[in-house]
Amino acid sequence: MSEEFLRLARQEIQSEIDSLNEIFLTCTNDEQLYEKSTEIEKHMHKIKGLAPMMEQEKMGEIAKISDLVLKHVSSHGILKGSHKITSDAIKIMSSLFSGQVNIQIDDFRKQVRESCSEIIGF
Give the tens place of pLDDT for each residue, 54-90.
889 999 999 999 999 999 999 999 999 999 999 999 9
- Does a structural domain hold residue 74? yes
- Does a structural domain hold residue 26? yes
- Does a structural domain hold residue 9? yes
- Does a structural domain hold residue 121? no
What is the C-alpha to C-alpha distance for residues 78 and 32, in angstroms, rounded to an integer? 9
- Does a structural domain hold residue 86? yes
What is the C-alpha to C-alpha distance for residues 48 and 42, in angstroms, rounded to an integer? 10
- The fraction of the chain above a pLDDT of 70, given in percent, is 97
Residue span of the structural domain in which 80 resides: 3-115
pLDDT at 47 over 90: yes
- Does a structural domain hold residue 122? no
Q: Show Cβ contacts of residue 73 under 8 Å, excluding neighbours closer than 6 positions.
A: 33, 34, 37, 79, 82
Chain segment 24-34, per-residue pLDDT in tens: 999 999 999 99
Higher pLDDT, 119 or 37: 37
- The fraction of the chain above a pLDDT of 90, given in percent, is 77
Residue 23 sits in a domain whose CATH number is 1.20.120
pLDDT of 14: 95
Instruction: State the DSSP code for 1.
Output: -
Asked whether the beta carbons of 6 and 54 are under 8 A apart, the reply is: yes
Asked whether the beta carbons of 19 and 25 are under 8 A apart, the reply is: no
Instruction: Quote the number of domains for the chain.
Output: 1
* SS3 call for 29: coil
Tell me the pLDDT of the chain averaged across its residues.
93
